[in-house]
Chains A and B, each alone.
Chain A
């Protein structure tokens, strides 16, 4: 397989028909392949997450990441955009779903699409990945240490984030979950709860939990990075997408 790829910034139709920025990457060549929507973490549409988008292209998928903060801060530096969006209350769930739907539609319309789509997110994006898969049709979903997939945020939370327990019955895809055992958001107990819900509902899922890893262990540019967990996690993601998004 060639590792040649093309990556660029484009505009897609997002929630409410709004035009939003997206970063997309595709392998060169005309082979049919699956698509992956990447949901960036709360710190923004940043270099590290764009590298993840390119990695999926290198793995053989068309990948797209909508800029969730485009409306608040078009053209701003990723950290400034994240700060602005945060000060304004964050991304509403409904808008997130609409923007992910726009990215999914864009991927499905590609001449290279095999019709199969995955979604992945880290941190806040982990919860949003599950949220998207509960509201949209996907073939595979990946939650990397998303907080509040289950559980109730503390009182007085300024951002309207809720647990997704009531939406999980609508989960449209098998779920891969990757978690650090030293994380408290989600805590190992919350991961247990999520697993119990999926098991009770007979949903296909695959969880992997890593010792000596806390939150954000995939983040290569942060002290939380744990090479063993991140390397194994990437292998799990590759195998999971290969299983569910392959032609």
Chain B
């Protein structure tokens, strides 16, 4: 199905995107829906984007549900491993 559901979040960081250039990332869009490229019916998709630079300023990832959960754990683990004062 097209799940339609979309979760938007503001982000502050950088991503390496089109033409191997780094750009500032200000927005994240997260949704579970059909992928464009991954060989799965549905994937957890994340767009790291800077809308002010146009639709092409985007790094897109499409992850199976299990690998998306593994990524969440990995992110939480990496954050937890750093001194609290650095990640506050």
Interface residues of A (CB under 8 A from B): 41-43, 72-73, 76-77, 79-81, 83-84, 86-87, 89-90, 123-124, 145, 147, 153-154, 157-159, 161, 183-185, 214-216, 222-224
Specify which chain A residues have a CB less than 8 angstroms from the CB of B39 in the assembled complex: 223
Specify which chain A residues have a CB less than 8 angstroms from the CB of B54 in the assembled complex: 73, 76
Contact count A vs B, C-beta below 8 Å: 82
Residue of B1, B8, B27, B49 near A183 (CB, 8 A) is B1
Interface residues of B (CB under 8 A from A): 1-8, 27, 29, 31, 33-34, 36, 39-41, 47, 49, 51, 54-56, 58, 60
The answer to whether B56 touches A124, judged by C-beta atoms less than 8 angstroms apart, is: no
Residue of B3, B4, B7, B47 near A83 (CB, 8 A) is B47
Separation in Å of the A123 CB from the closest CB of chain B?
5
- B4, B6, B40 — most chain A CB neighbours (10 Å): B4
- Further pairs besides A83-B58, A86-B6, A159-B6: 17, Cβ < 8 Å: A76-B56, A77-B55, A79-B36, A80-B55, A83-B29, A84-B58, A86-B31, A87-B6, A87-B47, A124-B2, A153-B4, A158-B5, A158-B6, A185-B1, A185-B3, A215-B41, A222-B41
